[in-house]
Amino acid sequence: MLHASVTVDPAFVVGPVRRRTFGSFVEHLGRCVYTGIHDPAADCADEDGFRTDVIDHTRALGISTVRYPGGNFVSGYRWEDGIGPVDDRPRRLDLAWHSTEPNTIGVDEFMKWTVKSGTEAMMAINLGTRGIESALDLLEYCNVPGGTYWSDLRRANGAEDPYRIKMWCLGNEMDGPWQVGASTAEEYGRLAARTAAAMRRLDPEIELVACGSSASHMPTFGEWERTVLTHTYEHVDYISAHAYYYETDGDLDSFLASAVDMDHFIDSVAAAADQVRAAKKTDKRIHISFDEWNVWYQRRAESRPPSGDDWPVAPVLLEDHYNVADAVVVGNLLISLLRHTDRVHAASLAQLVNVIAPIMTEPGGRSWRQTTFHPFAQASTLAKGDVLNVAIDGPDYETKKFGNVPVLDAVATHDPDTGEVVIFAVNRSTTEQLTLDVNLAAFPGLRLLDATTLSNPDHTWTATADDDSTVTPVPNTTATVDAGRFAAELPPVSWNVIRLGK
Ligand code: AHR
């Protein structure tokens, strides 16, 4: 039997819980847009063809920002193809995903969807095949009230008021050889700096994200960040980070410790940004937009794009089906993002619907929630106030990828307005139950409001359209609070949420 002690104290504040930590991503990829958010054939479709069930799931997830329209897709995208009368819009080849883009959905439809789903758009511009001019045109179309060519065209297309989109990504993964228009750090850094400076002249209120490396294992990781930020530091607010994790060769122990890698990655990106800060002798800090993260089984057949003469519209792509262990990892990655709230100011779960997503749909049919839906929804709706670092004293276990790592990982939030304390915790052991003992002496008089656990004796259990509710977070009946101490048994491979209040 394993045992871990945790101390939670309101003095250990890392920073505020940021709503933008709970963002997601809608890319024109596979069935994310078509038959995902938009599916006129579905019974639940509204007057604009949007699936109302997906909107309901999105609201239940507590999604804040939604990155759009890509991803790899954006690097070959002409945004003007997606405006005006739908019947006049061109069909184009999407070189990123070897698909045909019908352009039925474009910026105006997407912005309508953000209003319906209560989300904030995070717009990406194409710095693969395009540059400053098309970025300025899109910004003018979106954010200028009227009286100019592009803003009046938006009004003519039905959107009287400007969208005033705040967050803008300066391209996507521009270091990746798979990217249309992939660049060196020098080439990209110079283009991003000039584009950012021009965009800010048009709208000084916007927040800009420069592309970081597409993954920490890229050979240029670190040096890419240094070069890009050397060019862009004065003009941008964020550097992006992307990370996907998956279980390889049955190594569940390492997979469950994926957040160890995310912690290290965030610290490394921050260090690279601070190196430039030091060289520039400036007080300004660049924050991290972790705008792609998730579990993604990239080697599975579902992730292979079509080829040859086959350029389908909205093919099945990246449709991973997640099990309970995947959900525990997603929960643990959220713990990592929260405990870096001083540096990670925005994040996007990639993606929202059908494509490596917490929400799945059948074309024209049912929708359902994957296992990964639950930790995200709980963290997003329950984390409030300040993020607290917690002191953990517990056992380690050996992993092939990361060496010795703690069995228990946890973070807490404290809402000074309500006094509520929420602890998010994972037990990474694949075999052992863990007794969690929390010292609450610094919070006199707290009582247990609620404790839930997501786990299953078979951690490979996977939700389907027929059954997405057999395994969900359920009350943890072992949880108690007594004399300033919380205690509970956490099953192996489990995600746990403990709410304490007055
Ligand atoms: O989210 C899927 C893909 O992963 C995105 O299009 C790309 O940016 C990343 O490589």
Supply the DSSP symbol for 353.
B
Q: At what angle do helices 324-339 and 258-280 cross, to 10 degrees?
A: 30
Ligand 1, CB cutoff 6 Å, lining residues: 27, 29, 70-72, 172-173, 214, 292, 350-351
**Cα–Cα dist 93/97, whole Å:** 9
Residues 334-343: tens digit of each pLDDT? 999 999 999 9
CA 97 to ligand 1: nearest atom: 6
Residues 127-141: tens digit of each pLDDT? 999 999 999 999 999
> How much distance in Å is there from the Cα of 351 to the middle of ligand 1?
9
Ligand 1 mutation pick, 95, 172, 246, 320, max ligand atoms within 8 A of CB: 172
> How much distance in Å is there from the Cα of 243 to the middle of ligand 1?
10
Supply the DSSP symbol for 336.
H
Ligand 1 mutation pick, 66, 126, 173, 175, max ligand atoms within 8 A of CB: 173
In a shared domain, residues 175 and 103: yes
Final residue before a domain boundary, out of 330, 353, 382: 382
CA 72 to ligand 1: nearest atom: 6
In a shared domain, residues 376 and 398: no
Give the pLDDT band of residue 1 (cuts 50, 70, 90).
confident
Q: Residue 125: left (phi > 0), alpha (psi -120 to 50), or beta?
A: beta
Cis before 71? omega within 30 = yes
CA atoms within 13 A on the CB side of 466: 0
The parent domain of residue 255 ranges over 18-382
* Percent of residues, the chain, with pLDDT higher than 70: 100
What is the average per-residue pLDDT within 369-388? 98
What is the average per-residue pLDDT within 61-90? 98
CA 350 to ligand 1: nearest atom: 1
In a shared domain, residues 31 and 158: yes
Straight-line distance from the first to the last Cα atom of the chain, in angstroms, rounded to the nearest whole number: 31
In a shared domain, residues 466 and 318: no
**CATH number reported for the structural domain that contains residue 347 in this entry:** 3.20.20.80
Q: Residue 362 corresponds to which amino acid? A: E
Computed over every residue of the chain, the mean pLDDT equals: 97
> How much distance in Å is there from the Cα of 2 to the middle of ligand 1?
39
Ligand 1 mutation pick, 242, 354, 355, max ligand atoms within 8 A of CB: 242
Final residue before a domain boundary, out of 382, 406, 441: 382
φ, ψ of residue 412 in degrees (nearest 5): -130, 155
Q: Name 167's bridge partners.
A: 122, 207
CA 25 to ligand 1: nearest atom: 1
Among 499, 500, 476, which Cα is nearest to 488's? Answer: 476
In a shared domain, residues 373 and 267: yes
In a shared domain, residues 427 and 322: no
φ, ψ of residue 280 in degrees (nearest 5): -85, -5
What is the average per-residue pLDDT within 310-317? 96
Structure-token match 């705008």, residue found: 291
> How much distance in Å is there from the Cα of 72 to the middle of ligand 1?
6
Report whether pLDDT(46) > 90. Answer: yes
Cis before 351? omega within 30 = yes
Q: Residue 240 corresponds to which amino acid? A: S
Supply the DSSP symbol for 91.
P
Q: Whose CA is nearest to atom 6 of ligand 1?
A: 71
**Cα–Cα dist 412/162, whole Å:** 39
Question: Pairing mode, if any, of strands 2-7 and 434-439?
Answer: parallel
Report whether pLDDT(300) > 90. Answer: no
Among 163, 156, 5, 32, which Cα is nearest to 83's? Answer: 156
Report whether pLDDT(303) > 90. Answer: no
Q: How many domains does the chain have?
A: 2
In a shared domain, residues 378 and 393: no
Give the pLDDT band of residue 365 (cuts 50, 70, 90).
very high
Beta carbons of 144 and 313 less than 8 angstroms apart: no
Beta carbons of 185 and 276 less than 8 angstroms apart: no
Q: What angle do CA 349, 360, 327 make, to 5 degrees?
A: 50
Q: Whose CA is nearest to atom 5 of ligand 1?
A: 71
Question: Pairing mode, if any, of strands 167-170 and 120-125?
Answer: parallel
**Maximal C-alpha separation, the chain:** 70
What tokens appear for 186 in the block?
A: 């020098």
In a shared domain, residues 374 and 417: no
Q: What angle do CA 460, 243, 36 make, to 5 degrees?
A: 65
CA 70 to ligand 1: nearest atom: 6
Residues 196-235: tens digit of each pLDDT? 999 999 999 999 999 999 999 999 999 999 999 999 999 9
> How much distance in Å is there from the Cα of 101 to the middle of ligand 1?
17
Give the pLDDT band of residue 122 (cuts 50, 70, 90).
very high
> How much distance in Å is there from the Cα of 27 to the middle of ligand 1?
9
> How much distance in Å is there from the Cα of 4 to the middle of ligand 1?
37
What tokens appear for 282 in the block?
A: 């400036």
Q: Whose CA is nearest to atom 2 of ligand 1?
A: 71
Provide CB contacts within 8 A for 397, sequence distance 6+. Answer: 253, 404, 405, 407, 428, 429
Q: Whose CA is nearest to atom 3 of ligand 1?
A: 71
Residues 148-171: tens digit of each pLDDT? 999 999 999 999 999 999 999 999
Catalytic residues: 173, 292
**Cα–Cα dist 55/52, whole Å:** 5
Ligand 1 mutation pick, 28, 72, 295, max ligand atoms within 8 A of CB: 72
CA 356 to ligand 1: nearest atom: 1
**Cα–Cα dist 357/352, whole Å:** 5
> How much distance in Å is there from the Cα of 215 to the middle of ligand 1?
11
Long-range pairs, 399-403, Cβ under 8 A, ≥24 = 399/251, 399/253, 399/254, 399/257, 400/251, 400/253, 400/254, 401/251, 401/254, 401/257, 401/261, 402/254, 402/257, 402/260, 402/261
Q: Whose CA is nearest to atom 7 of ligand 1?
A: 71
In a shared domain, residues 323 and 428: no
CA distances from 114 to 26, 108, 110, 149, 479 (A): 11, 10, 6, 24, 39
Measured in residues, the chain has a length of 502
Among 158, 155, 139, 146, which Cα is nearest to 79's? Answer: 139
**Cα–Cα dist 290/267, whole Å:** 12
Report whether pLDDT(302) > 90. Answer: no
Q: Whose CA is nearest to atom 4 of ligand 1?
A: 71
**Cα–Cα dist 421/424, whole Å:** 10
Q: Name 13's bridge partners.
A: 388
φ, ψ of residue 145 in degrees (nearest 5): -60, -45
What is the average per-residue pLDDT within 403-423? 97
**CATH number reported for the structural domain that contains residue 452 in this entry:** 2.60.40.1180
Q: Whose CA is nearest to atom 8 of ligand 1?
A: 71
In a shared domain, residues 340 and 412: no
Report whether pLDDT(301) > 90. Answer: no
- Per-residue confidence (pLDDT) for residue 299, from 0 to 100: 85
Q: At what angle do helices 223-232 and 258-280 cross, to 10 degrees?
A: 40
> How much distance in Å is there from the Cα of 333 to the middle of ligand 1?
18
In a shared domain, residues 106 and 87: yes
In a shared domain, residues 425 and 465: yes
Q: H-type helices in 459-501, by residue range?
A: none
**Cα–Cα dist 107/162, whole Å:** 12
Report whether pLDDT(76) > 90. Answer: yes
Among 445, 429, 436, 435, which Cα is nearest to 412's? Answer: 436
**Cα–Cα dist 328/69, whole Å:** 28
CA 294 to ligand 1: nearest atom: 1
Final residue before a domain boundary, out of 382, 398, 421: 382
**Cα–Cα dist 297/301, whole Å:** 9
Q: Whose CA is nearest to atom 9 of ligand 1?
A: 71
Q: Whose CA is nearest to atom 1 of ligand 1?
A: 350
> How much distance in Å is there from the Cα of 71 to the middle of ligand 1?
5
φ, ψ of residue 332 in degrees (nearest 5): -70, -35
